[in-house]
Amino acid sequence: MKKSFLGILVSGLLFLVMPSAVQAGNYASMGCYDLWYARNAFFANKGQCFEGARAIRTFGRRCYSPYGRLNGWEKSQVSDIKYWERQKGCNGGYTSRPTYGGGRYARVSGIRWNDTLAVRSGPSTRYRRIGDLPPDATGVEILECSRRWCRIRYGNLVGWSYNKYLRSY
């Protein structure tokens, strides 16, 4: 399959942007989404054939030679990223297990403009709804996560929200 001009342009841009983020090598300070993006950017730059909807939305379908084959340095960077994803309990860009020490911040994402994200008294829909987050809320502090739910603080509101709609930064 021939590579389109747009594909070449985007690959070149990824190559120009990616090294500055990677040179810092500061994966420990990145959130789950940023780690997911950094890991997949290596593969995107090498023509990985993406099949997942999220990866295609972010990087395009790709699918050109060398089809995601990484060199030694790139493999070591991806390995480092995977290590930090495990340490942080990341699951596809989301935190899926408890985070310790708090201090992580997130924004609400994936909620329609005319809807809100529920904040509950416990980590399940069985718990009482105690408040709502606007669809464009930022500065949501992640206090801890348990499976698919995160205990959050937003202003004076402290409760649990479904982590599918929270993007750490």
Half-sphere exposure of 167 (CA within 13 A, CB side): 14
The domain 104-168 is classified under which CATH number: 3.80.30.20, 3.30.930.10, 3.90.420.10, 2.30.30.40? 2.30.30.40
Encode pLDDT of 135-153 as tens digits.
988 889 888 887 789 999 9
Encode pLDDT of 27-81 as tens digits.
887 777 788 888 888 888 888 888 877 778 778 888 888 888 899 999 999 899 8
CA distance 137 to 130: 16
pTM (whole model) above 0.85: no
Domain ranges of the chain: 5-94, 104-168
Phi, psi of 81 (to 5 degrees): -65, -45
Q: Which of 52, 152, 27, 51 is nearest to 102 (CA)?
A: 152
Biggest CA pair distance of the chain: 55
Mean pLDDT of 110-123: 92
